[in-house]
């Protein structure tokens, strides 16, 4: 699963399993359903025969059959909180793009719509509003906006300004990537600026994922120049030259900044001052997940080649060495060896994985994990450890597990036949999904229907 991320949401080809004829006495229309489809077991909080999107704080957007009618083609989307039980039916095709921590959402048809949990649209951000009044954009047209980041109060939006309407990733000559912040309460624009980057799309930023919840900062790049922008007011908290991608990770007012190949500084984003630094050969930043924003559930960490990991301690403002190397390229843990992942040391003995808190030295517990399973380090790092093994390369299918790192208890004991459309809420939820073809037929109609099954698991 290397190189794949929950941000991509890339569709994958489902396999056609062996079909079992099931005759249902409903309108004399028989249903043929594949019986070799995906499956999942564990602390299942939600199971839907449709696609589900995982949001923050226990929120999900679950597609379901309209009026509970499985045999129809109409669907509707329900926003549901798995912790509180709150839910709202927001209708058939809301073009939901990002779930907000409040249970509201953002849509993206022609612009960016801001919606309350009820589904009511609070405001609509029209593309020309984004760069209005910004110098150097005269005679240029706003293209198709993309969400750059969302805080508790503001959504930041990026758009390409060029002679014709273009995508942010168009790399059109003379294009300007403009970013602006809009209030979630009423859609009013708070700030706007030209980022100084061309329309280079994901070369300049990574799209946010709903699962991480509200962010404080967004990291953008113009070539090898990195900028950290505070979402609520648009202030540039830090800029660094000669800083390639994956050289900055931000979390709760701090940033880890890698300088060259051997030095990492912890920077206070309120003052711009370096509060700590560490040096080692082949220094790198432990992957925070699909975006440079690290969950509050995780710890800022530096990887020193394949030798050791150093964790940043906020209380002492110092880096603490961990007596275990980081994950290797294959992301597995060989028998009899240990690997550092976030603040934990993972030690394998056969099919037993023992989890120890690296900072306290306390052993948390052990869990049975097949030896061939690798650790998914593209998931948002936090409380959930996601493990996988590829079982069908042609159809891109996986066997997966998920473990609560705080207790060493599995929350997803096993999932089979699932695809790469997984998601993780680092506070304690995970989503896996798989798909199959369902064949319908009868005297009046017949056909093959592609169905997605989704499971959400979580901690108690």
Is the pLDDT reported for residue 365 higher than 70? Answer: yes
Residue 221: is its pLDDT beyond 60? yes
**Extended beta strands in 184-316, E state:** 189-194, 217-222, 225-230, 236-240, 248-251, 254-259, 263-268, 274-279, 283-285, 301-304, 308-313
Q: Which of 22-31, 122-131, 433-442 has the lowest mean pLDDT?
A: 22-31
The yes-or-no verdict on residue 443 having pLDDT over 90 is no
Confidence label for 440 from pLDDT (cuts 50, 70 and 90): low
Each residue's pLDDT tens digit, 36-63: 678 999 999 999 988 999 999 999 999 8
The secondary structure element, H or E, covering residue 320 is strand 318-322
Phi-psi region of 364 (alpha: psi -120 to 50; beta: other; left: phi over 0): alpha
Res. 257 pLDDT band, cuts 50 70 90:
very high
What local confidence, expressed as pLDDT, does residue 323 receive?
87
Query: 399 - beta bridge partners?
Result: 389
Q: d(Cα 402, Cα 40) in Å, to the nearest integer?
A: 11
Say how far apart CA 337 and CA 348 lie, in whole Å. Answer: 6
Count the Cβ atoms, other than its own, within 10 Å of residue 11: 13
What pLDDT digit, counting tens, does each position of 112-162 carry? 999 998 889 999 999 999 999 999 999 999 999 999 999 999 999 999 999
Q: How confident is the model at residue 25 (pLDDT cuts 50, 70, 90)?
A: very low
Given a cut of 70, is residue 175 above it in pLDDT?
A: yes
Confidence of residue 29 (pLDDT cuts 50, 70, 90): very low
| Over residues 381-388, mean pLDDT | 96
Distance CA 124, CA 421 (A): 29
Predicted local distance difference test score (pLDDT) of residue 271: 95
Q: Write the CA distances from 230 to 147, 219, 253, integer angstroms.
A: 15, 9, 9
Please spell the DSSP secondary structure of 137-187, one letter per residue: -TT-EE---EEEEE-SSEEEEEEEEESS---TT---TT-EEEEEEEETTT-
Torsion over CA: 24, 27, 32, 34 (sign): negative
- pLDDT value for 3: 43
Average per-residue pLDDT in the chain? Answer: 88
Instruction: Identify the pLDDT of residue 73.
Output: 59
State pTM to two decimals.
0.86
Question: In this predicted structure, which of 80-94, 111-125, 302-316, 360-374 has the lowest mean pLDDT?
Answer: 80-94
Q: What is the pLDDT of residue 438?
A: 59
Residue 407: is its pLDDT beyond 70? yes
Lowest mean pLDDT among 20-29, 195-204, 299-308: 20-29
Q: Tell me, what's the pLDDT at 21?
A: 28
Average pLDDT over residues 319-326: 95
pLDDT at 1 over 80: no
Looking at the DSSP assignment, which residues form a beta bridge with residue 384? 404
Q: Does the structure show a pLDDT above 50 at 17?
A: no
**pLDDT score of 201:** 81
Instruction: Tell me which of 99-113, 124-138, 261-275, 438-452 is least confident.
Output: 438-452
Q: Which of the residue ranges 18-22, 155-159, 420-424 has the most confident prediction, judged by mean pLDDT? A: 155-159
Tokens of residue 285, six digits: 């930043």
């Amino acid at each position: 699963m290397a190189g794949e991320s929950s941000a991509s949401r890339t569709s994958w080809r489902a396999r056609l399993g062996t079909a079992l004829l099931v005759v249902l006495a409903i309108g004399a229309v028989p249903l043929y359903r594949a019986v070799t489809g995906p499956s999942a077991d564990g602390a299942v909080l939600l199971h839907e025969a449709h696609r589900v999107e995982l949001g923050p704080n226990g929120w999900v957007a679950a597609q379901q059959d309209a009026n509970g009618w499985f045999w129809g083609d109409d669907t509707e989307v329900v926003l549901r909180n798995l912790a509180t039980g709150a839910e709202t039916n927001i209708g058939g095709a809301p073009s939901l793009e990002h779930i907000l921590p409040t249970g509201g959402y953002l849509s993206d048809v022609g612009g960016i719509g801001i919606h309350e949990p009820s589904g009511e649209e609070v405001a609509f951000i029209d593309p020309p509003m984004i760069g209005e009044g910004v110098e150097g954009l005269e005679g240029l047209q706003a293209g198709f906006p993309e969400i750059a980041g969302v805080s508790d109060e503001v959504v930041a939006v990026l758009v390409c300004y060029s002679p014709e309407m273009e995508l942010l990733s168009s790399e059109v000559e003379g294009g300007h990537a403009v970013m602006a912040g809009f209030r979630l309460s009423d859609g009013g624009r708070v700030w706007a600026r030209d980022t100084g980057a061309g329309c280079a799309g994901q070369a300049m930023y990574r799209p946010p994922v709903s699962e991480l919840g509200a962010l404080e900062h967004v990291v953008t790049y113009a070539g090898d120049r990195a900028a950290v922008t505070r979402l609520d007011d648009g202030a540039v908290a830090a800029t660094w030259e000669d800083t390639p991608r994956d050289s900055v990770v931000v979390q709760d007012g701090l940033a880890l900044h890698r300088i060259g190949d051997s030095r990492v500084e912890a920077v206070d984003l309120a003052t711009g001052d370096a509060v700590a630094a560490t040096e080692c050969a082949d220094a790198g930043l432990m992957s925070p997940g699909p975006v440079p924003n690290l969950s509050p559930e995780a710890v800022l960490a530096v990887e020193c080649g394949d030798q050791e990991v150093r964790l940043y301690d906020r209380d002492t403002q110092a880096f603490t060495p961990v007596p275990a190397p980081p994950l290797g390229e294959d992301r597995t843990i060989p028998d009899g060896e240990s690997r550092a992942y976030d603040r934990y040391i993972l030690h394998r003995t056969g099919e037993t994985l023992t989890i120890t808190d690296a900072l306290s030295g306390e052993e948390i517990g052990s869990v049975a994990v097949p030896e061939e399973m690798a650790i998914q380090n593209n998931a948002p790092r936090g409380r959930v450890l996601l493990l996988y093994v590829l079982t069908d390369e042609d159809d891109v299918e996986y066997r997966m597990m998920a473990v609560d790192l705080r207790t060493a208890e599995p929350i997803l004991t096993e999932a089979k036949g699932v695809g790469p459309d997984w998601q993780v809420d680092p506070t304690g939820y995970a989503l896996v999904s798989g798909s199959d073809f369902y064949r319908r037929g009868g005297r009046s109609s017949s056909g093959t229907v592609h169905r997605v099954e989704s499971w959400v698991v979580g901690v108690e």
